[in-house]
Structure formats: C-alpha cells, structure tokens
A and B are shown apart, each in its own frame.
Chain A
Amino acid sequence: GDSVTQMEGPVTLSEEAFLTINCTYTATGYPSLFWYVQYPGEGLQLLLKATKADDKGSNKGFEATYRKETTSFHLEKGSVQVSDSAVYFCALSPYSSASKIIFGSGTRLSIRP
C-alpha cells in the first residue's frame, strides 16, 4: 500500500544552520505531496505542497521538490531560526483515494539559539 518514510528525529541544529529532512514515498500513480508542520500544542498547518513531478513547493524559506525518479520530497531550508522548532510531517494524498492523507511518522526539529 501507499506509505511515507521520513527521517527519524529528533534533529537538533544551531540557528542559521542548513536543514534537510528526508522523505521518500511509495505510491501508485501520481500522488500529491505535502509537508505539514505542528508547533507545540497546536494542530497541523500546511507548510508547502507539490502536485506533480518536478514541482517545487516553497513557503517561509522552506522548499521541497517532487522527485518522481527517486520518489522523494525532501524538505530544505537554508538558514533555520529558533521559531522553526516544531514537528514536521511529510504526507501524500493518493491519486486513487484523493480524500485521504497518509502521513509519515514525523520529525521533531529543535533549533538552538
């Protein structure tokens, strides 16, 4: 079945460091891909999305590119801030079951001042 695998956390970085959180997926057809962020005590917020191969989603300095050849959607940011500390979920929406979202297990990110 469809699934999402993302790097396990926690990830701890210093402020202004470069961030990469790896995400790979397994799906038939052409799913849509998302990154959601969950700040402490809050629900999930959509961070960015990509709906077809080679699309790049971007928001708040974060970027991810839909790579069909490697079935990946890695999240990157050039210079992280303390306020980026949160849990990040990679997710897909299967083409065959568009109402569903399948989440990865989440990666907790902590940024040191």
Chain B
Amino acid sequence: DAMVIQNPRYQVTQFGKPVTLSCSQTLNHNVMYWYQQKSSQAPKLLFHYYDKDFNNEADTPDNFQSRRPNTSFCFLDIRSPGLGDAAMYLCATSRDPNSNQPQHFGDGTRLSIL
C-alpha cells in the first residue's frame, strides 16, 4: 500500500550528538512536512518542502535542519539535541499545498535524549 514510512520508530541519542530521522513516501506527493509532537500536545510544524522549495517556520530553532534529496525522501537533522528536543517527530505529505488536500502522516519516530 502507498504510505508514509518513518525510520526508525524509536531513536535514542546522547545530549549534543547529531541525529538524523528519515521519512519516505510512495504517494508521489509534492509536499513533505516535519512536525514535533510533545506528550499530550498538538503537533507543531517545524518546516515543509514544496518540491525542492524549503519553507521554515519562524519559530523553528536553528538546531533543526532538513534535506529532501528527491521526491520520495526527506530527512530531519538535529545538530545538537538538547533534553527539550525529546519528542515524537511526525512526517506528513500532501499532494499539493491546497487547503482541500489532507495531509498523510507516518507513524512517527519517538526520540529520546540521554
């Protein structure tokens, strides 16, 4: 089935050690999003790609970066994770940035910081 796949499901890293989370999609969607979701909170958009165009949210810390080497893959890089970055990270896609189009989410990667 076409879907959004996030790997790994659980990631543990050390304080300050760079970590990369990955997302792939078989939906051939143009837009890919990264969200941060902390416990019992709503997902918070970090940034999104529309094709190769990168769109950063104004309040996303510089510590968070993203790469989209092709249509299918998108990566979230956290350069120096702090304890406050422990969260669930959700990847989502949509066909285009149209308000009628829902976003399709992966199952997320839960990041723990030691």
Contact = CB atoms under 8 A, between A and B. Distances in A.
Given A89-B42, A106-B41, A42 B108 contact: yes
A95 B105 contact: no
B3 to A, nearest CB: 10
Contacts, number: 55
B70 interface: no
Given A43-B105, A45-B105, A106-B40, A100 B45 contact: yes
A93 to B, nearest CB: 4
Interface residues of B, number: 25
Interface in B3-30: 4, 6
> At the interface, is chain A mostly helix, strand, loop or mixed?
loop
Interface residues on A, range: 20 to 34
Contacts of B48: 99
B31 to A, nearest CB: 6
B99 A46 contact: no
Interface of B: 4, 6, 31, 40-43, 45, 48, 50, 55, 90, 92, 94, 97-100, 102-108
Across the A-B interface, give the 4 residue pairs with the lowest CB-CB distance, nearest first: A99-B97, A43-B105, A103-B42, A98-B99
